[in-house]
Amino acid sequence: MLSGRKLVEDALQKRTVPRIPCFPLIDLAFAAAYIKKPLREVQLDPRLHAQALCTCADLLPVDGVYINLGLNSGQSTRIKDNTYLIDQALTLVIPENDVLSISSTDIKSLDDERLLTAKLFHPGMLAAFSLMQDSIKDRVAVFVGVTGTFSQVSLLYGIPELMMALLDQPEAVHRALGRRHEIVLQQIREVAQAGARFIWIGEGLGSGSLISPRQYRDFVLPYEQSMADEIRRQGALSLLHICGNVTAALPDIKSCKADGFDLDYPVDLQRALDILLPHVAVKGNINPTLFLPGQEETLRQACIEAKSIAGNRDGFIMSTGCLVPRDASAGSFQIMAEIVQQ
pLDDT digits (tens, 9 = 90+) for 29-66: 999 999 999 999 999 999 999 999 999 999 999 999 99
Between CA 333 and CA 335 the distance in angstroms is: 5
Between CA 53 and CA 276 the distance in angstroms is: 30
Nearest by Cα to 10 from 66, 68, 63: 63
Residue ranges covered by each domain of the chain: 4-341
Count of CB atoms within 10 A of residue 325's CB?
17
**Percent of the chain clearing pLDDT 90 (strictly above):** 98
pLDDT tens for residues 269-324? Answer: 999 999 999 999 999 999 999 999 999 999 999 999 999 999 999 999 999 999 99
Average pLDDT over all residues of the chain: 97
Longest dimension (CA), the chain: 56
**Sequence-ordered list of residues with C-beta below 8 angstroms from that of 26, at least 6 positions apart, any chain:** 53, 56, 60, 62, 65, 66, 324
Between CA 89 and CA 83 the distance in angstroms is: 13
Q: Quickly name the fold that domain 4-341 has.
A: TIM Barrel (3.20.20)
Between CA 331 and CA 123 the distance in angstroms is: 33
**Cβ–Cβ under 8 Å, residues 4 and 21:** yes
**Percent of the chain clearing pLDDT 70 (strictly above):** 100
The model carries a pTM of 0.96
